[in-house]
Amino acid sequence: MAQPHASAGQIIDAQPLGARLVDEKTVALFKAQDLEVMRLVLQAGKALPPHQVAGEITIHCIEGVLDVTLGGRSHVLRAGQMLFLTGGALHGVTAMEDASALVTIALKR
């Protein structure tokens, strides 16, 4: 469930979606002053084309397998693995299997 304005002290569900994944979409979990967290949902074969985000990012794979291309290199990210990206890094994401990931962004103001 989307919680775009989760307040401090609010419990946010970031558990694997499991069988529900196929019907889910990417959602913002919360956006604060310096941090934004979203749950990226990509069904197998779907991709985010190469793009840039101003702030530093972590991508934490919750379930499934993601391929993150970064600087021409491919990084396979499995459940429980995390990748750090510098601000402005051009990156693309492809789901090798149905996958969800927590994406944390350091917001630039």
Amino acid making up residue 71: G
Query: What is the closest distance, in whole angstroms, from the C-beta atom of residue 32 to a second copy in the complex?
Result: 5
Query: What is the closest distance, in whole angstroms, from the C-beta atom of residue 81 to a second copy in the complex?
Result: 5
* Binding segment toward a second copy, per CB under 8 A, in 19-27, 43-51, 76-84, 92-100: 76-84
* Binding segment toward a second copy, per CB under 8 A, in 19-27, 41-49, 52-60, 92-100: 52-60
Residue 22 binds a second copy (CB under 8 A): no
Residue 77 binds a second copy (CB under 8 A): yes
CA distance 38 to 19: 20
Query: What is the closest distance, in whole angstroms, from the C-beta atom of residue 28 to a second copy in the complex?
Result: 12
Q: Of 71, 76, 100, whose CA–CA distance to 88 is shortest?
A: 71
Residue 1 binds a second copy (CB under 8 A): no
Contact partners, residue 102, CB within 8 Å, separation at least 6:
14, 29, 37, 38, 39, 40, 58, 59, 60, 62
Q: Of 57, 99, 95, 107, whose CA–CA distance to 80 is shortest?
A: 99
